């Protein structure tokens, strides 16, 4: 069964490079690398919050696990809390 997903972001010009979710998370996370923002959305698409940090602009990749975003930058991994 397919869930309906309609959202509106607080910023007008976004450029998502990655979306991340799984059954355990209960949320969808979108990464706008240019702006250095992770958007947190409910599974139905309702905007919840945004997390901004400069390391997201330089990151090579991200993974969301439990209540944190793990950010790969060169040979280091940074942890950004989602609370």
**pTM given for the model:** 0.86
The answer to whether position 13 is within a domain reads no
Q: Could you read off the pLDDT of 5-37 as tens digits, one per residue?
A: 778 788 778 899 999 988 888 899 999 999 999
pLDDT score recorded for residue 33: 97
- Quote the CA–CA distance of 61 and 77 in Å, as a whole number: 10
Residue 4 has pLDDT above 80, yes or no: no
**Collapsed DSSP state (helix, strand, coil) of residue 28:** strand
Split into its structural domains, the chain has a count of 1
The answer to whether position 10 is within a domain reads no
The answer to whether position 51 is within a domain reads yes
Q: Could you read off the pLDDT of 36-69 as tens digits, one per residue?
A: 999 999 888 889 999 999 999 999 999 999 889 9
The answer to whether position 54 is within a domain reads yes
Instruction: Residue 53: give its domain's CATH number.
Output: 2.40.10.480
The answer to whether position 69 is within a domain reads yes
What range does the domain containing 47 cover?
Answer: 18-81
């Amino acid at each position: 069964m397919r869930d309906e997903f309609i959202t509106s972001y607080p910023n007008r010009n976004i450029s998502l490079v990655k979306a991340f979710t799984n059954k355990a998370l209960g949320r969808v996370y979108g990464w706008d690398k240019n702006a250095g923002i992770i958007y947190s959305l409910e599974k139905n698409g309702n905007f919840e919050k945004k997390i901004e940090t400069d390391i997201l602009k330089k990151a090579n990749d991200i993974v969301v696990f439990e209540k944190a975003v793990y950010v790969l930058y060169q040979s280091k991994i940074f942890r950004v809390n989602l609370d």
